[in-house]
Amino acid sequence: MSTLSRARTGFHLFILLLAVAAACRVKERWQEYTLFFFDTLCEVQIYGRETQVSAARDETRRIFTVIEDDFSPGRQDLTSSLVIELFQHSRQVYLNTGACFDITVGPLVELWGFPSRAYHVPDAEEVRAVLLFVGTDKIRLEKNRIVLQPGMKLDWGGIAKGWAVDLAARALRDMGITRGYINAGGDLFCWGPNPDGRDWRIGIKHPRQKGFLGILSLRDGGVATSGDYQRYFEKDGIRYHHIFNPASGYPARERQSVTAIGPQAMLCDALATALFVSPQPEAILKKYPEYGAVLVSSRGEVITMGKFPNPGAFQIGPAMDQR
Amino acid sequence: MDRRHFIKTVLSTSLLTPLLGQAKSEEPALVLFLIGNHPHDHLPVLLADIGVEPSPSGNRFSFGNPHPSMDKIKDALGRAGWKYASPASSTSWVFSFQPLQHSARPSFTLIRDGKIVDVRSRSLSLLWTKMNSSEPLSDSLTIASFQATRQPSSQGRTAAIFIDGKKRGALALGKSQTRRFDSLGGEVVVGIEEGRAVVLASTCRHKICRLSLPASLAGERIVCAPNRFILKIEGPGFVDTVTG
């Protein structure tokens, strides 16, 4: 090879190397996308390269589609491995919460007209009749399926969304996305620092007023809220909401809202419901020492209990602009 | 510990900076910072001395976060005629807890209207000196802030409209206007009036978006799921996302 040819080859190699280097240096940046699943808005904000974000969006959509398909009312395959797995999680929470969280409230939800929005205040006799079909302890788990008694109906609304968030967050982290959050209608998981390099600031909606009850600061973990203002109807001046006390068959009356915080969005989701219903929320949190909660009583008192990432992690009142 | 050392210690906490900023920007501002393991022993005296006497119906207080001495503070202030209540928006004072980055001598300071009040010139000087000299080092900071200093400063600037995840417009909240948006399921009409955004009409079935409260604070949103429509208030926001 002549000197000239060697020089040309070297030049071409140099150009090629430059191109490869440029391709490798695709910048990471914050990007957001929104999806509609579980009858609500799902927001995702992540830090990554364009290709990562595109793959993340596809993966989030795939996971949410699978969970929505398996756990939507009327589309329940009781032999699905996902259904069996989530049932096992649900049953554990049912046992740990003294039956305050119960996925078998489906017949109650229907009796009161929530799925169809044909709202109805049943009489005591109707409630008593439906309560015969409520109780996770009535479900039998066989090898490859769960078996319901006739008349029973599952309502996964208090746990499936949180689980979907956990699964999606885990998938995105496995893809190398080191910072972000996934928020499916208030059930959320965040990880890594926020765009300002600080903890994520999560506004908790005020159950009775416009604006926020307070701000949670969280670096890694899940959050979920159950409130009597999310789905309800009023009759004769009384608010009837969708969070039922599985023991009485009536909407729970102890709280206006409960926000749970902890390592998994799924458990936050379920605990928010259980703590909303339970007269002894502290006893429940003792069984979940990694979790904390912000409770708003029926009189509007704000009570915090359980574990928070640090003592200042929850601040009552609107936060200030710190940007 | 002299006052300069105390202020330096307090400034090393992450919580003070926003509180000071808030105290400067809004009036009236009254914030008491108290270092010590026994805030319940001192708060009634301190609060009485700075001119906060229980009203006939009782001054009301709440907690901004879990405080290790919460029950003792409740008891001590209760005996002094205060009443524990919540939510914070209904109380005069909010007490918060913050760990210091290192231990310091027990002490306190008061910030009124953004300025540090020299408590040593008042009758509290004896207490200040006693705390400094006789109580053990502490890494516990109690912050008592007057509720009037905790108003939101989060009015949004624009209502951003997203349809199926794509931004389709941004309406300035400062200008009264009505805009129609073609969404996936039909038309959504948005109105801006007096700095607030509201959905005036929608082709969706249940009209949850139309029944939603007007949105005006940064971070608030109105969602119409059937139409894949989101109205999101943007501005100098103070939250990254929302639960509830």
Helix B16-25 with B3-11: angle, nearest 10 deg = 100
* Nearest beta carbon to residue A321 from set B15, B98, B236: B236
Residue B127: pLDDT band with limits 50, 70, 90: confident
More confident residue, B44 or A137: A137
Contact B229, A40 (CB under 8 A): no
Cα B206 to Cα A56: distance, rounded to the nearest angstrom? 32
Contacts of A301 in chain B (CB under 8 A): 85-87
- Helix, strand, coil shares of chain B, percent, nearest 5, are 25, 35, 35
Q: Which residues of A touch B152 (CB under 8 A)?
A: 211, 318
Whether ipTM exceeds 0.85: yes
A223 occurs within a structural domain: no
Q: Which of A211, A297, A301 sits opposite B152 (nearest CB)?
A: A211
List, for residues A131-145, the tens digit of each pLDDT value: 999 999 999 999 889
Structural domains present in chain B: 3-146 (no CATH), 158-234 (2.60.320.10)
Min Cα distance A126 → chain B (Å) is: 27
Residue A132 lies in a domain: yes
**Residue A291 belongs to a domain:** no
Query: Is A186 close to B66, i.e. CB distance below 8 A?
Result: no
Using the predicted structure, report yes or no on whether residue A25 has a pLDDT greater than 60: no
> CATH number, domain at A115?
1.10.3980.10
Q: How many domains is chain A built from?
A: 1
Model confidence over B151-170: pLDDT tens digits? 344 678 899 998 887 889 99
Phi, psi at A274, each rounded to 5°: -60, -45
Which has the minimum average pLDDT: A122-126, A133-137, B2-6? B2-6
* Span B219-234, average pLDDT: 84
Compute the distance between CA of residue A242 and CA of residue B144 in angstroms, rounded to an integer: 38
pLDDT at residue A129 above 70?
Answer: yes
Structural domain harbouring A126: 81-147
pLDDT in tens, B174-192: 999 999 999 888 899 999 9
- Give the pLDDT of residue B16: 47
**Listed range (A7-16, A19-28, A42-51, B206-215) with the worst mean pLDDT:** A19-28
The percentage of chain A sitting over the pLDDT mark of 90, rounded to a whole number, equals: 69
Q: Let me know: does B150 contact B123? Beta carbons within 8 Å.
A: no
Cα–Cα distance measured from residue B45 to residue B186, given in angstroms and rounded to the nearest whole number: 63
